[in-house]
Amino acid sequence: MLYSLLRPALFSLDPEDAHRLTLASLDVARSLGLLKWLPRATGKPVRVMGIDFPNAVGLAAGLDKDGAHINALADLGFGFIEIGTVTPRPQPGNPTPRLFRLPAAEAIINRMGFNNLGVDNLVKNVQASGYTGVLGINIGKNKDTPNEQAVDDYLACLDKVYPHARYVTVNISSPNTQNLRELQKDEALDALLSAIKLRQSELAQQHGKYVPIALKIAPDLDEAQIAAIAALLMMHRIDAVIATN
């Protein structure tokens, strides 16, 4: 009912402007106590990666890239909220227009390109939110970081988000960052996972808690590629795979 009333107004706007307006409106609605009247996600609790999720309906990364709207989204009852993708340094993402509606398919084409205000800003937002639910943080590399140095970007993000996340997602699957998916190939992925797993162990000792790591993979891998990635995930004892971007 509410969506059918708002849809004409939202569709009169540029998709990216509509996205920003929706999130800002959620924040206002929360401040006025209105979100309690909206339907909430429900379901049975589920335990994954050693984490107890209150229900299996979660919010994937991409909606709230900078973690600026965590509390408003939490009021909708999600079993988890994943923010990001975040990179070490702020970056504007791809040129606009980069978000396109497909009304007949009830879908959107997203070519955003990891636009975000950087990991330091995201951490500040998480701290300010005081959110105590299941929070995933999705990390990536900057567009201008060559793949040969990508590990450094992922480790830089992991160091900063680890204390604040219930799990961390390593995103190597976005088609909107040039050559990012090359990191899914055997040698590159082996090196990345090795470095991530070593740093995870170090951070667990430093912070006194174990934060699971998930790898987010592309949707268009063939069976041989999936098998090769699965073998590396098992070899490096990665906690989970998110299938797919």
Which residues are known to be catalytic? 174
Closest CA to 70 of 4, 148, 165, 209: 165
How distant, in Å, are the alpha carbons of 61, 66, 174 from that of 112? 13, 14, 10
> What letter does residue 39 receive in the DSSP assignment?
-
C-alpha 46/C-alpha 52 separation (Å) is 6
* Selection from 171, 175, 167, 173 nearest residue 209 by Cα: 167
In 10 A of CB 132, how many CB atoms?
8
**Gyration radius of the chain's alpha carbons:** 18
HSE, side-chain direction, 13 A CA sphere, residue 164: 26
